[in-house]
């Protein structure tokens, strides 16, 4: 689980996108987002709800084996650049062995948009931490937050936006490409879902594009990498407090 409009949303739109069009959506002026003046007490966005104690379990066959992802919202916030961020722990297993253990930090602004404030990510091999590539934190070494989910994602169709920005380390992008999608996963059937395209700006769209589906009051339910037929990670279990 790693990526909603009032006057603030309009200002954010202009600066978060940072796109020049002309084919390459990751090109454009320097990233200089208009940051929120006020933050909500919790993340309640219906497309990305983060109530402490909530958990998600995802599973799917990949070329490397059976991948299982366990996501849980932790009870205690973490201060990130002066903002009390909701902490989400995301653990990835391959054939039962832990391969990634990440703590993500999110906050919602007063307009309802969810911002991604950073992550502490650990790669694990044979039970030992082998790296922390992709880790970043707003306010450290020039890193800046990005939009994870709009308050009104349907109002941002086909607009590319930054989800995070730590130059040379973490430069993911997103784009809402559907707002009335039907989705069938192990956990259940959904209608009226949001579909996004996500990609790594460091690798480029062609090498990292993936599709994600978000459904109201649940959050992410499915993820599929582009160009890899048959590979998908889907929601199999969801619990709420």
What single DSSP character describes residue 40? Answer: -
pLDDT above 70: residue 14: no
Distances (CA, A) of 46 to 43, 126, 149: 9, 37, 10
pLDDT at 1 over 70: no
pLDDT higher than threshold 80 for residue 17: no
Please give the CATH topology (third level) of the domain spanning 7-239. Answer: YmcC-like fold (2.40.360)
- Ordered by start, the domain boundaries in the chain are 7-239
3-state secondary structure of 8: helix
Compute the radius of gyration of the chain from its Cα atoms: 17
Instruction: Give the pLDDT mean for 7-35.
Output: 54
Q: How confident is the model at residue 66 (pLDDT cuts 50, 70, 90)?
A: very high
| CA dist., res. 143 & res. 227, Å (int) | 31
| pLDDT at 123 exceeding the cut of 50 | yes
Write the CA distances from 166 to 128, 133, 162, integer angstroms: 26, 12, 11
pTM: 0.89
69-108: pLDDT as tens digits: 999 999 999 999 999 999 999 999 999 999 999 999 999 9
Higher pLDDT, 14 or 91: 91
Tell me the pLDDT band of 49, cut-offs 50, 70 and 90. Answer: very high
Q: How confident is the model at residue 230 (pLDDT cuts 50, 70, 90)?
A: confident
Q: What is the pLDDT of residue 27?
A: 57
Give burial (CB, 10 Å; 0-12/13-18/19+) of 163. Answer: buried
């Amino acid at each position: 689980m790693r990526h909603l409009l009032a006057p603030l949303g309009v200002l954010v739109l202009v600066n978060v996108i940072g796109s020049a069009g002309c084919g390459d959506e990751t090109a454009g002026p320097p990233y200089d987002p208009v940051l929120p003046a006020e933050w909500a007490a919790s993340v309640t966005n219906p497309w990305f709800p983060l109530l402490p104690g909530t958990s998600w379990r995802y599973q799917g066959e990949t070329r490397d084996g059976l991948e299982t992802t366990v996501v849980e919202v932790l009870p205690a916030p973490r201060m990130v650049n002066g903002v009390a961020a909701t902490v989400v722990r995301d653990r990835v297993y391959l054939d039962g062995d832990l391969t990634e253990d990440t703590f993500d930090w999110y906050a919602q602004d007063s307009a309802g948009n969810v911002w991604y404030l950073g992550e502490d990510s650990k790669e694990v091999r044979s039970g030992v931490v082998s790296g922390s590539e992709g880790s970043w934190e707003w306010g450290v070494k020039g890193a800046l937050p990005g939009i994870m989910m709009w308050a009104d994602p349907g109002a941002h169709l086909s607009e590319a936006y930054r989800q995070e920005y730590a130059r040379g380390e973490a430069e993911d992008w997103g784009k809402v490409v559907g707002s009335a999608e039907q989705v069938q996963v192990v956990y259940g059937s959904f209608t009226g879902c949001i579909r996004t395209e996500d990609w790594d700006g460091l690798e480029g769209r062609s090498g990292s594009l993936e599709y994600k589906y978000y459904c109201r009051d649940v959050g992410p339910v499915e993820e599929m990498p582009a160009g890899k037929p048959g590979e998908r990670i889907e929601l199999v279990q969801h619990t709420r407090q």
